[in-house]
């Protein structure tokens, strides 16, 4: 258990640093910047209690907000993502298919399963984040396009990280 806490603590710090120091400083087309930090919520073990998912989502988003100087936008989006996660897991497969103590990984559950899982949660995160940021329906299609492109870029980074860092 202590080993898992240390492992996820290091993952938290590394993902926040990569997001804040690298990815936030590289914008494609002046407005597109993927979000790798949500990988932390995606990779938590299946048996993580809901209250802990929400707390960790809030702390993760708040950390990104502090470094990005955004007023709670990332915190609200990561809490929303953490809230949706158990429902998405039940939607894409039954509870019986998960091994006790395991976590969602491409190496364990396959590319297709992980891609469905990541696409749903990353798209939900990005839609929530960008619509809260815009806080208006004026420019609806522009905001929608921005969320979809950012989600696409985020998913590419998340899948690549699965093959580069989290392989068996």
Count structural domains, the chain. Answer: 1
User: Going residue by residue through the chain (168 aa), what tens digit of pLDDT does each one get?
Assistant: 678 889 999 999 999 999 999 888 887 766 788 999 999 999 999 989 999 999 999 999 999 999 999 889 999 999 999 999 999 999 997 666 777 778 898 988 889 999 999 999 999 999 999 999 888 778 889 999 999 999 999 999 999 998 887 665
Which segments of the chain does DSSP mark as H helices, in order?
A: 2-17, 39-42, 50-68, 73-92, 106-109, 111-134, 140-164
Report the predicted TM-score, pTM, of the whole model to 2 decimal places. Answer: 0.91
Range of the domain at 134: 1-166
**Per DSSP, what are the bridge partners of residue 32?**
28
- What distance in Å separates the CA atoms of residue 96 and residue 93, rounded to the nearest whole number? 8
């Amino acid at each position: 258990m202590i080993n898992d806490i240390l492992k996820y603590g290091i993952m938290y710090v590394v993902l926040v640093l990569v997001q804040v120091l690298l990815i936030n400083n590289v914008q494609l087309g002046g407005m597109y910047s993927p979000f790798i930090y949500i990988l932390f919520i995606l990779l938590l073990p299946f048996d993580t209690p809901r209250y802990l998912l929400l707390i960790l989502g809030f702390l993760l988003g708040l950390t990104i907000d502090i470094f990005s100087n955004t007023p709670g936008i990332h915190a609200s989006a990561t809490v929303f993502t953490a809230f949706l996660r158990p429902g998405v897991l039940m939607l894409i497969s039954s509870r019986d298919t998960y091994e006790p103590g395991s976590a969602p990984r491409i190496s364990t559950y396959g590319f297709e399963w992980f891609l469905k899982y990541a696409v749903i949660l990353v798209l939900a995160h990005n839609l929530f984040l960008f619509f809260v940021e815009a806080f208006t329906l004026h420019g609806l299609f522009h905001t929608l396009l921005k969320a979809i492109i950012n989600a696409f870029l985020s998913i590419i980074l998340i899948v690549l990280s699965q093959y580069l860092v989290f392989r068996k």
